[in-house]
Structure 1
Amino acid sequence: MEGLALTPDDAWSVHSVAHVYEMKAEVDKGLIFMESREKDWQGSDMLASHNYWHWALYFIEREQYEAALQIYDSQVFKRSKASGAMLDIVDACSMLCRLEMEGVCVKDRWRELLQITQPHTDDHVTLFNDLHFLMVSLGANEPGASQRLLEGLQELAKEPGDNQQHQLARTVGIPMCQAMMEYNQGNYSQAVALLHPLRYRMVDIGGSDAQRDLFNQLLIHAAMKSENKRHQKLGRCLVVERDAVRPNSPLTHRLMQKALALHD
């Protein structure tokens, strides 16, 4: 905030404050802050789209899905298509996945986003990017693209040497991709079996806590949807843990209600 007092159009300072409000689940403060500062940061070349993404997270927390979709359509998707920047693209992927887990139908948007991500299926620059591209091919119901991405990672994992991304593909990337594919097919128990052992390794894929939270949510949803009673108990434990870390989060409270319904 001191930085913004000195340089009001510093998009990085806006970004830092947005992270604090997100991690503390201070949703109302986040919404007021982002709106009040929009004119200062919306012209930033690198961070504008990402700051809009942060803004949309608060709307998703509040179940204001139309407001989140408006940001996606007018800013995040539009900017990712224009820039081709990986940060913009992965934010678009993440937003649709979060909305879909909330029960929002985004099928047509998956198809549009696939036109941007599909040319990068064979890039394999970072595992973080690959996981987001996989979200899109799964969401758009393109099993061929999904399988191609997984097989590409499997080939990289076979290569000798100490390349960090290749090692990550072996230990984290492939099982995470397989878990996402299992979840997409409704095999929730198998998704939990693959994801749960990796929950403390997910930090290795890169990105921020806010970005990686998507995979925490995926594990919770998979656990609660699993027919395995132990997985359902795990889901409840994960939600309680989440509530302790992010008190007063509306999204966490919604998950808690689902967990309690399973218990009943």
Structure 2
Amino acid sequence: MKHARVIYEGAVHEATERDGRLQLKDGRLVAEDAVHWLPPLAPAPRPRTILALGLNYADHAKELEFKAPVEPLVFIKGEGTLTGHRQLTHRPADVQFMHYECELAVVIGKTAKKVKRDDAHDFVAGYTVANDYAIRDYLENWYRPNLRVKNRDTCTPLGPWLVDAADIANPMALALQTSVNGKITQAGNTRDMIFDVPFLIEYFSSFMTLQPGDLILTGTPDGVVDCRPGDVIVTEIEKVGALRNTILAA
């Protein structure tokens, strides 16, 4: 099932997808363009921790002239970076290169500590699409992206749906693509991750406790391009959804 959180008629609603429309909990059916979309995470639990992978696709590492990492390159993001489907992301006026990153986002479903790889999927509530924008101008080191690169308000659109884990038979075989103003600029597949979802859950839970609602953003393949004010970016993952976002000059 596909779940969403939206604002409709001034109130926050949980909703599910039904025949191309949103069905609110009270049974009303509303059009997708009649609501304000929020990140598809319930009010509780909200993400306590957002873990994001850098250089988790070998082709993206090559694109940036880096060797593929031998262990996960991870940074922490704040919840304030998140925004929803069909929302605006602000591009600072002084930057020269700001690019999207289409990523499969894993939502943890129950407390995970010292989880074995073979059991990892049991701890996943579902999957959603993340667009983890990066501003190259502020990048000091690819291995340690600083706060201004990855922790800016509105710079991590998430959604539109949280898709139940049971509905994604194999998260490691999903096609993904990004389009800018209707032109496809990025294409890849989650099978090309260096560190796959079961590995990441085993790895993280070996030294920290993952809580329900925590997020793991799993990285992006090659094909990133500069995004300018007015550009409409659609990051799409097979069976998970198509996340639309518009760049606005800050």
Band the TM-score falls in, shorter-chain normalisation: under 0.3
- As a proportion of its length, which structure holds more strand? 2
Q: Mark the structure with the bigger radius of gyration.
A: 1
TM-score (norm 2): 0.23
Higher relative contact order (CA 8 A, sep 6+): 2
